[in-house]
Amino acid sequence: MSDEWSPESGNSTARDEERPDERVLDPANLDAERRALGQRFVALLEGARDDEVRALADELSPGDLAEILRPLDVADTARILRLLPPDPVAEVLLEIDNRSLSALLTLLDVDAIADIVEEMPSDDATDLLGELEPDHAEQIMAAMDEDERAGVAELLQYGPETAGGLMGKEFIACTEEQTCQDAVALLRALDQDDLEETHALFVVDQRGRLTGRLPLTVLLLAERAEPVAEVMEHDPLYVSVELDQEEVASFFMTHDLITLPVVDHQMRLVGRITADDVMDVMEEEATEDFARLAGVSVAEYGEQSALRVARSRLPWLLGALAGELGAVLVLKHFEQSLQTMVALAFYIPMMMALAGNVGIQTSSVVVRGLATGELALYRIGRHLGREVLTAALVGLSVAASLSGLSYLLSGSLELSAVLGVAMLLVVMMSAIVGAGIPLVLNRFGVDPAVATGPFITTTNDLFGLLIYLGLASLMLSHGAGG
């Protein structure tokens, strides 16, 4: 069986040709150098010195060039990219933020974009086309080579957040009956750059079902006439096309993988996922969790209008507003206690701030533990107990400090006692809420990251006020009765 990805012999690209030595930017002065180079590009464009623009771009690595172009006007960026061959442009586009691609690609010719996409790995090409409007993506695909178009069209059928959406079609497969010499011949048919990204061959049977894996190190030491079936690794690790990308990333980290085959429901080999794909997933998931922690939308990262940003934040803030209205009702209910001892009101901000901070700390630790798999189900009780004990120790320290401070300021033992006991209970309650809500959500299949940020803070504000003012009212009524 021949390799799934068959590069056309003799199809040279700019990458295959000798390129000038890349300019190495000074890491200690990176931002300043990039700004200076960006200004140099703009000056060359204004002078219509296209040859110098092309020469300067050729000196830079794709990553540096992408960072230099990022702050430039989209029209200027498009002018620069039009001067470059498709292969380096493809590398640059892979480094540019996806949210900037749509505007940039609308300024490039469809045929030119098709040539660029054909130079990309199939998974990256699929991601790029998936960011575009459907009509625009269809126009580009219509201009692509038939084989390239078929591969991308297949990948577009899978969900973007599944293993099928992550995988690429660039893999080498051989059959069990082939010899190691045949496997070497498949590798020799690759270009040097493609060979650098190949770490193993996948072995399939006559029906295309995955049966083994042949690392290059094993192939190098094997006898050339030896059948692949005798030297391959049996029962290789794999994932199904439907597996969620977070689970794929966790699987990669658990087994310390570089590449992983992807199979369909009939165990047929359909693609491969590489470590760089998983790194992108981890960055994406971390960005989402950070956004939820702050109570904002991921869509705010990048160039968004003020109206769009406001619309994305409103649902979170309206939810927080509804919760804080509950806190207002609590204050209204305990109005008589506050009038009896006005000093109680002075410490409300401190109670609410401590409750929110403890809740955020605890929930962040739990959410991370659930996301990385460090917090196993059988250890949840132990972890929850540790968080409560930690909160008790913190609460005792803070309560003692607050009681002493309040006594120095007011001279009231009664107020100091209320503040100390209330602070201890509020801190412990906040830890329980901060740890418990993510665990409950995870138990019911809901992403626990939604429990962080405004949700935890608002919940703890409400319960913190109930504990503080309820305890104060109880002590005041007991004192009055005495």
- Specify the CATH number for the domain of residue 239: 3.10.580.10
* Structural domains of the chain, count: 3
What pLDDT was estimated at residue 8?
A: 36
- Give a yes or no: residue 357 inside a domain: yes
- Amino acid residing at 326: G
Pair (391, 473) in one structural domain: yes
Whether residue 333 sits in one domain with residue 274:
no
Instruction: Compute the distance between CA of residue 270 and CA of residue 210 in angstroms, rounded to an integer.
Output: 9
The continuous run of DSSP H or E covering 261 comes out as strand 259-263
**Residues 364, 251 share a domain:** no
For residue 246, give its domain range. Answer: 173-285
Residues 427 and 392 in one domain: yes
Whether 163 is covered by a domain: the verdict is: no
Tokens of 65: 């060039």
- For 431, list phi and psi in degrees, rounded to 5: -65, -40
Q: What would the two tokens of residue 210 be?
A: 């995955």
Do 100 and 147 share a domain, yes or no? yes
> Per the structure block, which two tokens stand in for 50?
């296209």
Q: Which two tokens stand for residue 347?
A: 């410490």
pLDDT of residue 445: 74
Considering the domain architecture, whether residues 122 and 271 belong to the same structural domain is answered as no
- How far apart CA 24 and CA 395 sit, in angstroms, is 53
Residues 314 and 277 both lie in one domain: no
At 214, phi and psi to the nearest 5?
A: -125, 95
Among left, alpha and beta (phi > 0; psi -120 to 50; other), residue 267 is: left
- 335 and 240 co-located in one domain: no
Are 304 and 371 within one domain? yes
* Residues 235/227, Cβ–Cβ less than 8 Å: no
Q: What is the pLDDT of residue 303?
A: 53
Looking up tokens 């801190």 gives: 427
Please report the pLDDT score of residue 437 as a whole number. Answer: 83
The predicted pLDDT at position 174 comes to 95
Please give the pLDDT value at position 68: 92
Strands 233-234 and 210-215 turn out to be: antiparallel
Residue carrying the six token digits 């009509």: 135
Q: How far apart are CA 16 and CA 13, in angstroms?
A: 5
CATH number at residue 118: 1.25.60.10
User: Given phi > 0 = left and psi -120 to 50 = alpha, else beta, which region is 175?
Assistant: beta
Using the 3D structure, point to which of 236, 264, 285 is the last residue of a domain: 285
| Element (DSSP H or E) covering residue 201 | strand 200-204
Q: Is residue 321 part of a domain?
A: yes
Cα 428 from Cα 49, distance rounded (Å): 68
- Asked if the structure places residue 7 within a domain, the reply is no
Domain stop point among 156, 191, 221: 156
Q: Which residues contact 90 (CB under 8 A, 6 or more apart)?
A: 116, 117, 119, 120
Handedness of CA 239, 245, 247, 252 (dihedral sign): positive
The string over 411-428, giving b where at least 16 C-beta atoms fall within 10 Å of a residue's C-beta and e elsewhere, is eeeebbbbbbbbbbbbbb
Say if 455 falls within a structural domain. Answer: yes
223 with 104, same domain? Answer: no
Residues 6+ apart with CB under 8 A from 164: 155, 157, 158, 241, 242, 262, 270, 271
Q: What are the per-10-residue average pLDDT scores of the chain (482 residues)?
A: 37 43 77 91 92 92 89 90 90 76 83 90 88 88 90 90 92 94 91 77 95 94 94 95 91 91 96 90 76 59 64 75 85 83 85 86 82 66 84 92 89 88 92 86 73 75 89 74 49
Does residue 15 fall inside a structural domain?
no
Q: What CA–CA distance (Å, rounded) separates 76 from 46? A: 10
pLDDT of amino acid 472 = 84
| Domain-embedded: residue 166 | no
Q: Which helix (H) or strand (E) holds 42?
A: helix 30-46
Please say which residue of 103, 121, 156 terminates a domain: 156
Nearest Cα residue to 90 out of 111, 114, 54, 110: 114
User: Within this chain, do residues 336 and 477 fall inside the same structural domain, yes or no?
Assistant: yes
Indicate whether 13 belongs to any domain. no
| Closest to 41 (Cα-Cα) out of 22, 5, 68 | 68
Same structural domain for residues 278 and 341?
Answer: no
